Structure formats: structure tokens, C-alpha cells
Chain A
Amino acid sequence: MSTARARIDSMRPSRPGPTRTAPPAMPDQFWTQGRYRGYVAFGACGFFLLTVGGLLLRAVWVLGNGDPAAWQALLESWANPIYVVFHAVSLLALVWFGLRFFRVFPKTQPPKIGPFPRPPDAFFAVALNGAFLAATALGVALLWGVLA
């Protein structure tokens, strides 16, 4: 085994400037392979965040018009099968998106959060899934009219 010191400048480019030979690119058909499927589906859920947010904006706008008939017409329009399918798919997609987000979340946290060490993954799992269940139950009860 050689004891010669490594030449740390041996890979230095001959001229100053960018050394990257090609821009980074995903392999062909990457989205059909292994974990990429879930990764791409997770990113594609951005479409549902955008559209559901946009439709909620429309609902609040109509509500702010102060016309009960227009509000009623909006709610009735959502009984259209196209809207029903879209909203059902959005619901399923966003629940899946949320559960995946909660699973990924601990891995994105630094070893120290402020002055405290990062809690164990089980803490994040309980806290995030618990918050999801509590917020959803509270929201359903409020919108359903169970809560005043």
C-alpha cells in the first residue's frame, strides 16, 4: 500500500470556469420506475392543492356577494357528477398526500430544533397524524352543523 500523500489538485480543471459537463437530467421513463412513482404522484398532488384552493376561493367570493340564491346555486352545481368525481378524487389524493407528507416530515427535520434535540420519529407520527384526525373531525363537526 502506497504511503504517498494524495495530490489534492490532481483533478483541478485546466481552465477556470464551470466544470459540470452536462446539466443534471432524470433518466428516461424515470417516473415509471420504483420509488419515482410515489415521488411523482406526491408532486402531482400539487394540482389538487391548487384547484381545491381555487374552488374554495370561488366559494368564498360567491358567499361574499351576499346573494343566498347564488350561494345555493353554487352548492347545487357541485352535485354534478363531474364535480362529485373531481372532489372525491381530490379528497382521496389529499389524504394520501397528507399521510405521505407526515411520513416524510421527520426526515426533513434537523438534528436540533432550536435549543432542543429532534424528537424521535414516533413523536412526529403521533403528533402529525393526531393533528390530522383532530382537525378533520373538528372541521366535519363544524361544517356538518353538529357544533354550533
Chain B
Amino acid sequence: MIKLVARGQASVKWGYLSPVLAVFLTLIAGTFLFWGLGKDPVLALYTFFISPIADWYGITELLVVAIPILLCAYGLALCYRASIWNIGAEGQLLLGAVVSSTMALQFVDSTSLWAMPLALIAGMVGGMICSGISAFLNLRLNCNETLVTIMMNYIALNTLLWAVYGPLKDPNGYNFPESALFGDSTLLPILFEGTRLHVGLLLVLLALVVVWVFMSKTFLGFQIKVLGLDKPAARMAGYKETKLAVMVFLVGGALAGLAGAVLVTGTTGQLIPAISPGYGYSAIIVAFLGRLHPLGITLAGLLIALIFMGGEMSQMVLNLPRSITGILQGLILFFLLSCDVLIRYRVVFTLPRFLSTATQGDK
């Protein structure tokens, strides 16, 4: 029989191994899933995980997908470190996209150098408005942050729909729910000729370094960690609890809003209703899978981006719906939570009861 025995101390080793094991188990489950769907598992796994990044263009596409996910996940990780269950990255991303598009549309015929930076800043402001409202409701009015942020997600989604069906709709767009195409001055420059990889990648790298240094090298980062691990201790030490919480909310919102801005100015070049296939929700998985550490998150984000691309690829090649992406993402999180039990518990294999009583009887 299998028994769980509590460890005296949380295992550091399993803290690192658990995500790896979870990914491995997800791969096994995925193999069975493909097999069950009547596809050759080897071909399916190749199509899903290898073929999207088999060439240089594929790798740049992977990075394009990873950019918004990573930006959201860095921000979420800050919140989760403070034990704030902010799941509003999706809404902050969407509102960021709307505000950024509104700004970008002011510069359609302009060649101003300010156009692109202003569009990005507008996106960050949009995200911060969204997360700021959540922070206010959570911290001043005591509302549960999970429920508040999820409601803000739906409100932001409907704001986006309202915008593309109403004020931001392209007047020459044959009544499609899309904004006009942005001018060249607002579009993010492409990094490599012939690909879609834009300077958003540099913003991600910048965010990675800043968040990393902030988390591990600054006193504020330390305070956030303490607040998350032991609230009474943080209070005793005189840390400004509310101030810290507001800060992580706003930073998270700014990063998610930036992700939205990067999506409209870098990837699509206009505002469309389906601007995000749930990047903000995937970022939650990424943050946990990356153990709330910027480096881990970066790896996890690339993996989830690969799963997004694998979904597209398997739709084209294997004729499977792309929603298989969502199943694999859910499975990863399930397996991660299950494997995390190994951090706090040891698994002990014991003989089944009838056997162990038999051996006792011999004595």
C-alpha cells in the first residue's frame, strides 16, 4: 500500500523536481490521449512538440507567442509571492490592449517617434487601471481578490467587445468588429528580417532582469516574500502591508497591460476581438510551474507557448481541434499540484494489510 508520511521539513530537492516530474507525466498522459484518439502517438508527439520549433522561423514564432505569456506571468509571480491570488492578468491584458489601441489609432497617419512608446505606455496604464480597481476593491473594501479579479476579467472582455463593435470599429472595415490597421509609426520594429519576432522580446528580457533583481536583491522584494509567507511576521516587522500589496497589484497590471499593448502593436497591428486566446490564464500555470522564480517562469512560459503552437500544428496536420492545448495546460497544473505533495510528504510503500499481519503472526 502507498502511504504519505509528513516530512519534518519541506524538501528543497522536490521543490525543483516536482515541475519536471509534472511535465513528464503530462507528456505520458498526452501520449495516451493521442493514442486514445486513434493517432500514432510518436507522430502526434513529434507534430505537437518538435515540428513547431524544427526551424528558425518556428523558434521565432515560439518567442512571439511566449512574449505576452511571460510578461503576464512575471507580474503574477510577484502577486503570488505576496500570497495575493490575483488571477486577473487576462482582463488587465485585454484592457491594456484596448487602451493601447485607442492611443495607437491617434497616430495612424503620423510619423511621430512618440507614437510607439506612447502606445506601449497607454497599454501599461490600461492594465494598471484594471488591476488598480481590483486592488482598491481588495485592499480598501476587503473583497476577495480571486473573485474581484475574475469579475474584472469578464468586465474587461466586454469592454473589449464594446470597443471593437462600437467606438474603435474601423469605419472603412465593411462592418467587421475590428479596429483600423495601425500606422507604421506605432508598430513594433521587427528584430529579424523575414520573421514576426518584434522588439517585444527585448521588453521581456528587460522585465526578466528587473523582476529578478527586484525579487532577490532588493529590500522591497524581501518584504513581499515575508508578507506572503507569514503575514503576522510582516506586520510585526512594521512592513507596510497595504502599500506592498498595492505595489504588486500595480506592477502586475502594468506588465499584463504591456503584454496587451505588445500584442496589438507587435503581433496583430490592430485590435481584434480574439486578441488573446487566454494568455492571461495560461500565465497562472506558467507562474506556478516556474516556481514563482523569473528564470523558472521563463522556461515554463516557453513550454506553454510550445503547447499553444503544438495545438495549432496538430489542428493542421493531425486534424485535431486546437483546444487540446487547454487540456494539456490543465493536466500540467493538476500534475504539478499532485507532485507538490512530495515536497511536504514522503511516499512510503508498505505491504498490504493482510500480508503484514501474516508476517506479524509468524513471529
Note whether A and B form a binding pair: no
